[in-house]
Amino acid sequence: MSDMLSIGASGVRAYQTALTTTSENIANAGTAGYAKRVATTREVAVATSGMTTAANGMGVTVSGIARSGDAMRSADVRAAGADLARSEAGAVWLDRIEGALTGNKLDERLTAFFNAATTLSADPSASAPRATMLQAAASVANSFAATGAALDGAIADLDASADAGTGQLNTLSASLAKVNAGLGRVAAGTSGQAALLDERDRLLEAMSALTDVAVQFDSFGRVSVKGGAGGPLLVQGDRPAIATYARGSDGAVSFAVYGIDGSHILTPSGGALAGMAEGAARLADARRELDTIAAAFVEGVNAVQAGGADLDGNAGTDMFEGDSAASMKLVLSDPRGIAAAAAGAGPRDNGNLTALAALRKDGAFESDVTTLTTGNASALAGRRAIAEVQTTIRAHAIAARDTVSGVNIDEEAVDLIRFQQAYQASSRVIQVARETLDTLFNIR
């Protein structure tokens, strides 16, 4: 009878643990990063006196809490997430460039300026077309300046985002180091270990969204993380590294890591930091090209002005100043100062406006702005198309991982009923054993 009682008690304890584990799975079915647990049971074996073998039939015990997981599929999710994060981050800054180039209608303002000069050539001494041309010149200057300022603002925002990204990476690295320390202390096959392993994988996935990572596990489940294959250590044991971001005087950006094995350059090939590095390069190129167009436009228009005569017969003076888009401004305030006539010709002459028309053709300012804008738009469309494909790839990777580690509510419901019945049956075994003992004790 005592064996029957102990067997029943072992069943109650084991299936209570199984019920608790199943309930935990159901409760966390929607929790991101949660891997389902399974209470593994085994038969209790007790060594018999004088024998080296064990006698079975002494009940059941929970040998541990097994966590469902697949390291390869988790690695696929991290890789797919890093690729997608890079594309999405890169698209953000391409979109900012597009907004800067199109939002201020620079191409339209340039066309309006040169068209106003063409209109003025029909009647060079008239006041109204001179005022219209000067107003168009002001619009061009303002559009160049606003476009340059928008690109400068985007660069400043990118710097802030990159600083925040490295700060987030440092926070994740520090948290992962603490998880490593916890895994070194926790007992294997426990709910505590399973929870730490969930947090480890969640942190690794979050890190891979910032930079591609190379991961190596030890027998305790602790992880060493490098910033990409062959890159610097980000986490080793309970030691995290520190990542930094910097922009050089030439506009080039860089990431570095220090704190574990010295200082090293971090060159992300995936994750949001890689997308930011790519965006920084494109922003710098766009600003450099825009500044080149602006400087050539200012120099060319001022040279045309200097080669002609204004309405009063005086040599033309500068219409614009500035050596970059952001610094451009209109300095000619009087429409009479537009040098429409060739030097020495009368006020009704339009010879110098012919030189401005030639500058329009040779300088190709409008087409250069259009090329810059369409080139960026094409890159943005390509990046978005790639991101769509990568979104699908990542979704499939997550689905493949979740077939192993995800919680299936239907399966858990079946297990819940099965373990409940086993628990009730074990309780019934205890009850029958007690009733039998009571009957025996009452025999006189």
Q: pLDDT tens, 229-243?
A: 789 999 999 999 999
What pLDDT is stored for residue 228 in this prediction?
82
Measured CA distances, 162 to 42, 264, 349, 388 (Å): 52, 18, 57, 24
pLDDT, mean of residues 83-108 = 96
pLDDT above 70 (res 50): no
What pLDDT is stored for residue 434 in this prediction?
79
pLDDT above 60 (res 36): yes
pLDDT above 70 (res 49): no
pLDDT, mean of residues 410-436 = 85
pLDDT above 60 (res 55): no
- 32 versus 385: which is more confidently predicted? 385
What pLDDT is stored for residue 230 in this prediction?
84
Residues 86 and 218: beta-carbon distance below 8 Å: no
Question: What are the strands, taking DSSP E only, across 28-114?
Answer: 37-43, 46-47, 54-55, 60-67
CA-to-CA distance for 65 and 285, rounded, in angstroms?
A: 55
- Model confidence over 414-424: pLDDT tens digits? 988 888 888 88
Where residue 370 falls among pLDDT bands split at 50, 70, 90?
very high
CA-to-CA distance for 67 and 272, rounded, in angstroms?
A: 30
Instruction: Tell me which range, 36-45, 207-216, 245-254, is most confidently predicted by mean pLDDT.
Output: 207-216
Q: What percent of the chain has pLDDT over 90?
A: 69
What pLDDT is stored for residue 425 in this prediction?
86
The residue among 233, 372, 348, 356 whose CA lies nearest residue 303 is: 356
Paired with 436 in beta bridges are none
CA-to-CA distance for 152 and 247, rounded, in angstroms?
A: 13
Confirm whether pTM is higher than 0.75.
yes
Q: Which long-range contacts (CB under 8 A, 24 or more apart) does 124-130 make?
A: 124/311, 124/340, 124/341, 124/347, 124/348, 124/349, 124/350, 124/353, 125/311, 125/347, 125/348, 127/335, 130/311, 130/335, 130/336, 130/338, 130/340
What pLDDT is stored for residue 52 in this prediction?
52
Paired with 11 in beta bridges are none
Q: What percent of the chain has pLDDT over 70?
A: 97
What pLDDT is stored for residue 69 in this prediction?
82
Mean pLDDT, the chain, rounded, equals 91
Q: Which long-range contacts (CB under 8 A, 24 or more apart) does 420-428 make?
A: 420/15, 420/19, 422/11, 422/15, 422/18, 423/11, 423/12, 423/15, 423/16, 423/19, 425/11, 426/8, 426/9, 426/10, 426/11, 426/12, 426/14, 426/15, 427/8, 427/12, 428/8
Residues 22 and 415: beta-carbon distance below 8 Å: yes
Residues 365 and 176: beta-carbon distance below 8 Å: no
Q: Which residues are CB-contacts of 385 (< 8 A; sequence separation ≥ 6)?
A: none
pLDDT above 60 (res 53): no
What pLDDT is stored for residue 61 in this prediction?
83
Where residue 48 falls among pLDDT bands split at 50, 70, 90?
low
What pLDDT is stored for residue 344 in this prediction?
84
What pLDDT is stored for residue 127 in this prediction?
94
What pLDDT is stored for residue 35 in this prediction?
86
What pLDDT is stored for residue 160 in this prediction?
96
pLDDT above 90 (res 261): no
